[in-house]
Amino acid sequence: MPMNEEPKWYILHTYSGYEAMVKDSLEKLIENNNLGDYIVDLKIPTEQVVEEKNGKLKVVERKLLPCYVFIKMIYTNQIWYYVTSTRGVTGFCGPQGRPIPMKPDEIRKMKLEERLIDENEFKVGDSVQIIDGPLKGFFGTIKSITPSAQKAMISTTMFGRETDVEVEFVQIEKVDGAIPEIKEEE
């Protein structure tokens, strides 16, 4: 394994409905050719959705991005050949089928990597900024912390009123100094 290279996330395009088959085939390829040092992880992002069928509610797992498989690997021409010659793979997302690594904010938005935050990183009274989710860009103060759930209750100002919202640790970051004041137009 090249010691100077870090594995990066790339996007594979597949035929519709072939995502799971491609993932299984690549896992077998890794095992059979001892490529565990080069291909580190494979993911098909999914979400749980409640659907109604025949009058009954049912929880179904649905693909967030059909026709795509995310692969964390060290790029070499040989690995590119192995991956692109796998049945069901149409190629990498990038110019002329050559992969372009995903950016850190794309990886965070797709939740490809779990990021556990040390419970001691935040404490009650800390000023924070919400960096992800529907309240991105809002500032607030931590009112309470639930370390086991990796969540915090934040007091923030919305529409001129103090509002408490619950957010995950990965959605906030500490702000040095005082929270910036938002001036409302009259």
pLDDT digits (tens, 9 = 90+) for 4-60: 688 999 999 999 999 999 999 999 999 999 999 999 999 998 877 888 888 888 888
Distance of CA 63 to the CA centre of its chain: 14
Q: What pLDDT shows up at residue 116?
A: 62
CATH number at residue 68: 3.30.70.940
CATH number at residue 145: 2.30.30.30
Which of these three, 110, 143, 162, is where a domain ends? 110
Helix (H, G, I), strand (E, B) or coil at 98: coil
Same domain for 17 and 102: yes
Same domain for 157 and 83: no
Inform me whether the pLDDT recorded for 179 exceeds 70.
no
Same domain for 18 and 46: yes
**DSSP assigned state of 169:** G
Same domain for 56 and 33: yes
**DSSP assigned state of 75:** -
Same domain for 91 and 133: no
Closest to 48 in 3D by CA, of 64, 59, 36, 33:
59
What is the pLDDT averaged over residues 74-94?
93
Same domain for 25 and 90: yes
β 46-53/89-92 pair status: unpaired
Closest to 102 in 3D by CA, of 12, 14, 38, 9:
9
> Each residue of 109-159: pLDDT tens digit?
787 876 666 667 888 888 898 887 788 888 999 999 887 778 889 999 888
Residue 65 belongs to domain spanning: 8-110
Contact 91, 18 (CB under 8 A): no
Same domain for 19 and 101: yes
Same domain for 140 and 76: no
CA distances from 92 to 19, 86, 154 (A): 13, 12, 41
